[in-house]
Amino acid sequence: DRPTAQRLRRFEAHSRRVKLDVMRKHLVIGETALIDDEVDDYLERNKLIIDPASPDRADIARRMMRGEIEALQRTIERDQGDYSGTPKDPIVRPATGTSRETAKPGEGIMELFEQYAAENPKGIAVDTIAQARRDVGSFVDYVGSTCPVHRIDKKAVREWKALLLKYPVKATESSAFAGMKLAQIVKHNETIGKPAITPRTVNRYLAGFSAFCSWLVNHGYLDHNPADGMFLKKTKDKTTIPFTVDQMNTMFKSPLFTGCQSADEWRNVAKPGNVMIRDHRYWVPLVMLYSGARPAEIAQLSIADVRQEHGCWILHITTEGDGDKSVKTEGSMRVVPVHDELIRLGFIKYRDGMEAAGHARLFPEAKRNSRGQMIAEFSREFGRYLTRLGMKTGRGLSLYSFRHGATDALRRAGHLDEQFGFILGHTAGSMTGRYGIMPQGMLKQRVDLVNSISYPGLDLSFLVAAVSSPNGSRRV
């Protein structure tokens, strides 16, 4: 009834006045008991994990108390019929000025990235585009999905990079960071203590982002590339180095090349046995050694890509033909003659065996990972294999050491970098590279160039006797 309702309103108004008085006193002395439940709820909803005794939690509690005090004050005024009051504490004072600018329809950062990806001006590989999408997405996670593109500036990139330097390894795969945004992950990791990504990985984020920003500049969305000058300095101890001849003699006499316990588990690949591996794990290092080609370029070759032109065996590294082949850049498509040593080692016999077995691909067991990267797992496991052999203690030696070794071999033969760049895929794209057709004289020059790759002191004669098997591995 009416009298009961009036008594209830008077009781609620009195309770608010008492709570306001107590909360003001608590704010002065730093007591947060009246607001603790609300703080816990806020932290849970925003997936923030903060030590209850930390200054950060106390700061959040004080700010929420100030907001609660203002709300109580306004409510008490309205209990008395006064609706003219406005917040006095700046923490809850209505914002003045213009509203926050948002991106125009169709011009969100990720929408423009998809235009960039579709255009792909540098002709980069599909997996590289996919990685760049994740990298740019990380930046958008920081600045917000509605941030207008012209607001991408040095300050935003600088702050993003600072967070990346503290970003934990494999954060997206960890349940500890599920549902958190970039800044929240970094903050939460201060408690968890997972190792941060390396400067090299930070540079990879910046590289994908910078390439996109260059496209934005070229299309008039930005006046300059805000990622210029933001890359971290590379440290020499993480630079890939070539194998020495002694290291190669040791490695090529190891179980991966001469016989192991099992072809299925890498821990057993490093143990001597009678299982002969003759799939991509065997041939990719050798082909890299005598061509300088990238591992993914070799692993994705089709049978048709290894053929004779003008009586010379060639590797045609291209995106043409069947399958989901990709190259790093347009200039990566090229014709590389098959080195005489590879022929002596049985590479062409292996190729013919795979064709006779009905395979379209040269290495059908070579797979892409979830990111679309060809034989990424093999590349990683090969590094661990070197560690098992006792050859690797740091980051210097890797599968790419073969490519670096071929580069050094060409230099030893007296060739300048600009004279053999096209062999390594370091030139602009061409029709010759795409379709693999070239005059006989030009091909002969390339044959001589590739055959100049040599490693004095390297003895692979013991591999010549090994017969290639079409199924990739066999027992002897």
For the cut 50, the answer to whether the pLDDT of residue 317 exceeds it is yes
CA 123 distance to own-chain centroid: 18
Helices (H), 80-218: 109-119, 126-143, 154-164, 182-192, 199-218
Task: Give the bridge partners for 196, in sequence order.
Answer: 168
Residue 84 lies in a domain: no
Return the minimum-mean-pLDDT range out of 99-103, 372-376, 454-458.
99-103
Separation of alpha carbons 438 and 445, rounded Å = 11
pLDDT category at 398 given cuts 50, 70, 90 is very high
Q: How many residues does the chain have?
A: 476
At residue 58, φ and ψ (nearest 5 deg) are -65, -40
Residue 101 lies in a domain: no
Same domain, 343 and 417: yes
Same domain, 146 and 9: no
Average pLDDT estimate for 267-286: 95
Separation of alpha carbons 364 and 354, rounded Å = 9
The DSSP H or E segment spanning 387 is: helix 376-388
Residue 146 lies in a domain: yes
Same domain, 210 and 251: no
Residue at which a domain ends, from 178, 207, 234: 234
Domain hosting 41: range is 2-79
Same domain, 172 and 315: no
Same domain, 331 and 259: yes
> For residue 178, what are its two tokens?
């599920």
How many structural domains is the chain composed of? 3
What is the structure's pLDDT at 116?
A: 94
> For residue 255, what are its two tokens?
């179980």
Residue 59 lies in a domain: yes
At residue 106, φ and ψ (nearest 5 deg) are 80, 0
Residue 99 lies in a domain: no
Return the minimum-mean-pLDDT range out of 207-216, 351-360, 398-407, 433-442.
433-442
Same domain, 274 and 211: no
Same domain, 356 and 382: yes
Return the minimum-mean-pLDDT range out of 108-112, 121-125, 425-429.
425-429
What is the structure's pLDDT at 55?
A: 84
Residue 98 lies in a domain: no
Residue at which a domain ends, from 61, 79, 97: 79
Same domain, 443 and 301: yes
pTM over 0.85: no
Rounded to the nearest integer, the mean pLDDT of the chain is 86
Residue 143 lies in a domain: yes
For the cut 90, the answer to whether the pLDDT of residue 429 exceeds it is no
Same domain, 188 and 278: no
Average pLDDT estimate for 56-73: 89
Same domain, 221 and 285: no
Highest mean pLDDT range out of 166-175, 422-431, 445-454?
A: 445-454
* Residue (of 464, 352, 331, 384) closest to 318 by Cα position: 331
Residue at which a domain ends, from 234, 263, 279: 234
Average pLDDT estimate for 279-304: 95
The pLDDT tens digits of the residues spanning 403-412 come to 999 999 999 9
Please check whether residue 28 is in contact with residue 66, taking contact to mean a CB–CB distance below 8 angstroms.
no
Separation of alpha carbons 118 and 122, rounded Å = 11
Separation of alpha carbons 267 and 253, rounded Å = 17
Same domain, 351 and 377: yes
Separation of alpha carbons 185 and 174, rounded Å = 10
Distances (CA, A) of 402 to 276, 330, 346, 461: 21, 23, 19, 19
- The number of helices, as runs of H, and strands, as runs of E, in the chain is 21, 5
Task: Give the bridge partners for 404, in sequence order.
Answer: none
Same domain, 252 and 230: no
For the cut 70, the answer to whether the pLDDT of residue 469 exceeds it is no
- Give me the CATH number covering residue 397: 1.10.443
Residue 93 lies in a domain: no
What is the structure's pLDDT at 168?
A: 93
What is the structure's pLDDT at 43?
A: 83
Separation of alpha carbons 317 and 250, rounded Å = 30
What is the structure's pLDDT at 271?
A: 94
Please check whether residue 455 is in contact with residue 286, taking contact to mean a CB–CB distance below 8 angstroms.
no
At residue 429, φ and ψ (nearest 5 deg) are -65, 155
